[in-house]
């Protein structure tokens, strides 16, 4: 069943890439760009962080995360930026990780941003030259578990955008990563309910709950039924996107300022301004009050671009 759900994604990307390549090379699912910075750390050689950057890129891009077959053109574009703020020892670090992903829009050269996450609860241990190993059934270390969690989240959201709730299996895998971390007597920050509403625990727990089904529907309607058909009927596409955004009011009523909604609008608010900024007044009047209600952090951007 999961293969059938994901087939729509793979078929879509295959159509998009047909005109640009006749080479059919099998590849892993992710094309992840990685950046590691440590501007405040002076007691560790810079080469350590250069090697960490290389090892993370190989970890994300070099392993198979699903059973689906991807070609080079079908890989999901994503990025990870890690900022090391403190070196507790030469191999133990504290910092933050920012994760972003995008997906192509049919019949265009535009890649739509999908989400943006700023995770400030990120501790890691890293020794250059030691292989990074991840096991789906156990917690080996915090670095590979965090990376695996976000790999599954990237896949889940991408699959949700091509078939309604198509990413469920990926979210379940991400939830397993969370559960594995909770087997520790003292899990690192970000894995437990006690770590607050902006944790990895909360992120996947929310998205698998009934409350957040409108957000999952929004990912599908916004992209597959909206952006992907905009070349045929732009006004109808905007109507579908507006309906999907307006439906998020139910999530806002139950969980105002939720982490999941923040990650969505952090990526989408500029795109929404570009989509609706020059549209007829009636279209803007329909969506603008809703955006200002459910995404108050970007009110100024909406007023300036759509008011």
- Residues 151 and 295 occupy one common structural domain: no
SS3 assignment, position 226: coil
Structure tokens at 96: 């933050």
Q: How many domains does the chain have?
A: 2
11 part of a folded domain:
no
SS3 assignment, position 33: strand
Q: What is the distance, to the nearest Å, from the Cα of residue 47 to the centroid of all Cα atoms in its chain?
A: 29
130 part of a folded domain:
yes
Summarize the confidence of residues 160-172 as an average pLDDT: 98
- The pLDDT score that the predictor gives to residue 11 is 52
Per-residue model confidence as pLDDT tens digits over 195-245? 999 999 999 999 999 999 999 999 999 999 999 999 999 999 999 999 999
Which residue, 77, 83, 85, 145, is CA-closest to 115?
A: 77
- Residues 138 and 222 occupy one common structural domain: no
- Residues 70 and 215 occupy one common structural domain: no
Which residue, 252, 270, 30, is CA-closest to 156?
A: 30
For residue 243, give its domain range.
209-307
19 part of a folded domain:
no
- Residues 160 and 38 occupy one common structural domain: yes
- Residues 179 and 242 occupy one common structural domain: no
- Residues 41 and 118 occupy one common structural domain: yes
Provide the whole-model pTM: 0.92
227 part of a folded domain:
yes
Per-residue model confidence as pLDDT tens digits over 61-86? 999 999 998 998 899 999 999 999 99
- Residues 215 and 183 occupy one common structural domain: no
Which residue, 263, 254, 257, is CA-closest to 156?
A: 263
The answer to whether the beta carbons of residues 139 and 183 sit under 8 Å apart is: yes
- Residues 254 and 127 occupy one common structural domain: no
**Band (26; pLDDT cuts 50, 70, 90):** low
- Residues 44 and 106 occupy one common structural domain: yes
């Amino acid at each position: 069943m999961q293969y059938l759900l994901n087939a729509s994604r793979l078929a879509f990307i295959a159509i998009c890439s047909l005109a640009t390549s006749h080479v059919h090379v099998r590849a892993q699912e992710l094309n992840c760009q990685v950046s590691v910075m440590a501007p405040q750390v002076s007691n560790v050689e810079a080469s350590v962080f250069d090697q960490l950057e290389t090892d993370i890129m190989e970890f994300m891009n070099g392993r198979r995360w699903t059973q689906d077959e991807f070609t080079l053109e079908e890989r999901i574009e994503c990025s990870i930026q890690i900022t090391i703020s403190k070196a507790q020892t030469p191999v133990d670090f504290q910092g933050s990780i920012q994760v972003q992903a995008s997906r192509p829009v049919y019949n265009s050269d535009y890649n739509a941003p999908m989400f943006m996450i700023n995770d400030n609860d990120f501790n890691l241990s890293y020794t250059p030259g030691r292989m990074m190993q991840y096991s789906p059934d156990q917690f080996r270390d915090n670095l590979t578990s965090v990376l695996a969690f976000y790999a599954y989240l990237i896949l889940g959201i991408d699959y949700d955008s091509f078939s309604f709730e198509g990413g469920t299996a990926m979210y379940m895998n991400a939830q397993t990563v969370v559960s594995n971390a909770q087997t520790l007597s003292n899990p690192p920050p970000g894995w437990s309910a006690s770590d607050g509403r902006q944790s990895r625990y909360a992120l996947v727990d929310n998205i698998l709950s009934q409350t957040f089904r409108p957000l999952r529907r929004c990912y599908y309607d916004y992209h597959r039924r909206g952006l992907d058909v905009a070349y045929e009927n732009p006004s109808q596409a905007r109507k579908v996107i507006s309906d999907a955004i307006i439906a998020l009011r139910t999530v806002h009523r139950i969980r105002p300022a939720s982490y999941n909604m923040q990650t969505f609008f952090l990526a989408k608010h500029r795109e929404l301004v570009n989509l609706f900024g020059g549209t007829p007044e009636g279209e803007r009047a329909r969506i603008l009050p809703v955006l200002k209600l459910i995404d108050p952090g970007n009110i100024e951007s909406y007023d300036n671009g759509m008011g």
